Amino acid sequence: MTRRKLIAGNWKMHKTTAQAIQFANELLSRGAVGSAKTEVCLCVPSVHLYALAGIFEGSGVKLGAQNVYYEDEGAYTGEISCGMLAGAGAGYVIVGHSERRALFAETDDIINKKLLAVCSSPLNPILCVGENLEQREAGAERQAVGDQLEAALRDIGVRGVQRLTVAYEPLWAIGTGKTALPGQAREMCAFIRSKIESLYDGHAADRMRCIYGGSVDPVTAHDIVSGADVDGALVGGASLKPDVFFDIVNSVSNHT
Ligand code: PEP
């Protein structure tokens, strides 16, 4: 099956609402963003979702959040539920980003609970997995990523996994300017797909998307996303400037 590519931006904790609105208007002023073969999504701080949803309506640019809590509502000060995110305009949500694992003590168990909640909501999950430098140097990247996948996907049914995007983000490539080689990205995305096949079935493995994240820029984007198993990119730093993000989207959509 032909999967639609996904270019997703991850703004992390950047931009005020006024700056986010300015970005959206500048991005749209450049022309069509994405294409029938390339879907575009911006994962922004949740406080900007509602304002940006109005601006991007009808443009094809989708919105996502960067985190979510697994309960529907209640006494969880500071947390945001799937329903709240969807109501504010999000279609996607990142789960298990390495910064949340490392800086906010998100365990495999918490990530699994979040993924279960997302899969029974209207949101589409972008699950981040990836090995650290030590694991890569020891040749243990498949073991590390396979373990993260198994833990995150515990009790997730086949219908949930078909809506899943896995973002393969080697920790040594995030925010470092050191992009993985296209061959490394392809190999790990193929491995992730084979792992999904072994946990579910060939149909589910064929439908889920696997994208690469880690220092993608307009120069590296096309090569990294080429190849049957890499279905797009998760773009951090380079998604903060409208012209740079637009160039990344174009370099992928013009070549697919
Ligand atoms: C990320 O944080 O998801 C990411 C890919 O960051 P960067 O592109 O800045 O490496």
**How sure is the predictor about 1, in pLDDT bands with cuts at 50, 70 and 90?**
confident
Whether residue 169 lies in the annotated active site: yes
Predicted pLDDT at 175: 85
Q: Which residue minimizes the CA distance to atom 6 of ligand 1?
A: 236
Q: Give the mean model confidence (pLDDT) for residues 87-114.
A: 98
**Ligand 1 site-directed mutation target among 13, 212, 216, most atoms within 8 Å of CB:** 216
**Ligand 1 site-directed mutation target among 6, 11, 12, most atoms within 8 Å of CB:** 12
Q: How far apart are CA 161 and CA 198, in angstroms?
A: 13
Q: How far apart are CA 245 and CA 218, in angstroms?
A: 8
Catalytic residue chosen out of the listed positions 48, 97, 99, 222: 97
DSSP state of 4: P
Phi, psi at 43, each rounded to 5°: -95, 105
**How sure is the predictor about 140, in pLDDT bands with cuts at 50, 70 and 90?**
very high
Q: Indicate if ligand 1 lies below 6 Å from the C-beta of 236.
A: yes
Q: Indicate if ligand 1 lies below 6 Å from the C-beta of 170.
A: no
**How sure is the predictor about 251, in pLDDT bands with cuts at 50, 70 and 90?**
very high
Q: Give the mean model confidence (pLDDT) for residues 163-172.
A: 96
Q: Ligand 1 atom closest to Cα of 173? A: 10
Q: Parse the chain into domains and list their residue ranges.
A: 5-253
Q: Indicate if ligand 1 lies below 6 Å from the C-beta of 175.
A: yes
Residues 6+ apart with CB under 8 A from 12: 66, 99, 236
Q: Which residue minimizes the CA distance to atom 2 of ligand 1?
A: 236
Neighbour count for residue 138 (Cβ, 10 Å): 12
Average pLDDT, the chain: 96
**How sure is the predictor about 179, in pLDDT bands with cuts at 50, 70 and 90?**
confident
Q: Ligand 1 atom closest to Cα of 167? A: 3
Q: Indicate if ligand 1 lies below 6 Å from the C-beta of 24.
A: no
Ordered DSSP codes for 178-190: -PPPHHHHHHHHH
Whether residue 97 lies in the annotated active site: yes
CATH for 5-253 is 3.20.20.70
pLDDT(31) > 80? yes
The alpha carbon of 75 and the centre of ligand 1 are apart by a number of angstroms equal to: 32
203-227 confidence digits (pLDDT tens): 999 999 999 999 999 999 999 998 8
Ordered DSSP codes for 28-72: HHTS--S-SSEEEEEE--GGGHHHHHHHHTTTSEEEEES---SSS
59-74 confidence digits (pLDDT tens): 999 999 999 999 999 9
Residues 6+ apart with CB under 8 A from 200: 158, 161
The alpha carbon of 74 and the centre of ligand 1 are apart by a number of angstroms equal to: 32
- Asked whether 126 and 43 are in contact (CB, 8 A), the reply is yes
pLDDT(255) > 80? no
Catalytic residue chosen out of the listed positions 39, 106, 141, 169: 169
**Ligand 1 site-directed mutation target among 174, 240, 241, most atoms within 8 Å of CB:** 174
